[in-house]
Amino acid sequence: MLEGHSAPWREWRAAQASPRMHHAWILTGPKGVGKASFAYAAAAQLVAEPGVPQPEIEVHPDILIPRHPPATKEDEKKRDEGLPHNVKRSIPVDEIRALQRRLTTRPTLGSRRAIILDPADDLETSAVNALLKSLEEPPAGTYFLLVTHRLGRLLPTIRSRCRILRFAPLSDGAVDGILKAQAPQADGPTRAAAVTAAQGSPGVALDFVHEELAAAHQLMGRILAEGDAGMMLRGLLAEELGARPKRERLSAVLDLARAVLAADLRSATPRRQARLIEAHGAMVKLAREAPIYNYDPGLLAMEIGALLASSAVPTEAGNR
């Protein structure tokens, strides 16, 4: 059982034991809490047949996972050679149509087939429309698992055809245990800082360690506490981000900034809470737009710093 998700497992297993299990599920909750891991484990249980050896999920013929395709022809060559490569920012309609062609055949090893969309947030509009047709008329024995970080961004027509499983943030103790198991290289102070920054998301905590974000976290905390009238701290944050960071590092920094704002909400006054909520919403929008518009890393760091400074104590005029 995945750490901290006993309630979703109970609901899933009760449904699996029923004679009429729903064919489509939305797994929703904060980014990094383990929704995708749950989807993979649940899909493996769903398609398993007694006495039939089951291959690994990545090559399982009855677990279909539409992917972000390579970004360019060159990236396609790198993928075929097993090399690191860039991928497109969205899951295109071609991936869903290829999936639908597979659905015209019977499952290979048993009577059930599972489709995992991770995250469903990344589907192009045309891909969503194509998926809707399969959700409306699912082939017998086919089950959909849609992972989403922002439930409200899925079309109501998609949500209405799915049963929703909600995933809450994990306890600090659970996050710490995951870090000990999966990032044993982190020392005590680093692990403690990662747990604090994660706000219940083991994914954020692991990124904190792997991307070495302790210094960035300290700078964000200082901006939020002190402001940054001279923009010196924002400059240091830009240096910490790096001149040419990989997409994974950019994503981890944005996730961390959102978590820092969320953490400060607990002790803020009602007036300041309004500013924090506004800044958090803007940070979510920035995280959504950053991969699309390919922001300059330095400018991105300055914008992150500006949003943090807009909620500083005391509020500073002109920090935006």
Same domain, 26 and 142: yes
| Residue 317, pLDDT score | 41
pLDDT tens-digit map of 260-274: 998 888 888 888 899
* HSE-up (13 A, CA, CB side) for residue 245: 27
The pLDDT, as a whole number, for residue 4 is 72
Say how far apart CA 121 and CA 154 lie, in whole Å: 7
CA angle 62, 64, 69 (to 5 degrees): 150
Count of domains observed in the chain: 2
pLDDT of residue 94: 95
Same domain, yes or no, for 122 and 31? yes
How is the beta sheet containing 142-148 ordered, strand by strand?
63-64, 113-117, 142-148, 24-28, 163-166
217 and 162, same domain (yes or no): no
Is it true that the peptide bond before 30 is cis, omega within 30 degrees of 0?
no
Whether residue 24 is found in the same domain as residue 162? yes
203: in domain: no
Domain boundary among the residues 132, 166, 200 is at 166
| 172 part of a folded domain | no
Among residues 180, 163, 183, the alpha carbon closest in space to that of 42 is found at: 163
Flag whether 131 is in a domain. Answer: yes
Range of the domain at 92: 6-166
- For residue 193, tell me if it sits in a domain: no
Same-domain pairing of 235 and 155: no
Answer yes or no: do 124 and 44 share one domain.
yes
81 and 150 part of one domain: yes
Domain co-membership, 112 together with 246: no
pLDDT of residue 50: 92
pLDDT of residue 318: 41
Quick one: CA torsion of 287, 288, 291, 292, rounded to 10 degrees? -140
pLDDT tens, 286-298?
Answer: 988 887 667 789 9
Same structural domain for residues 126 and 259?
Answer: no
243 and 161 co-located in one domain: no
Residues 93 and 20 in one domain: yes
Does one domain contain both 149 and 33?
yes
Q: Is residue 280 part of a domain?
A: yes
Phi-psi category of residue 48: left, alpha or beta, with phi > 0 → left and psi -120 to 50 → alpha = beta
In a domain, 1, yes or no: no
Q: What is the pLDDT of residues 49-100, one digit of tens each?
A: 999 999 999 999 999 999 999 988 998 998 898 888 888 888 999 999 999 9
For residues 243 and 184, what is the distance between their CA atoms, to the nearest angstrom?
29
Which residues does the chain have with pLDDT short of 50?
Answer: 1, 316-320
Residue 315 located in a structural domain = no
Q: What angle do CA 98, 118, 167 make, to 5 degrees?
A: 145
Which pLDDT belongs to residue 292?
Answer: 66
Residue 60 maps to a domain: yes
Domain termination site, one of 103, 134, 166: 166
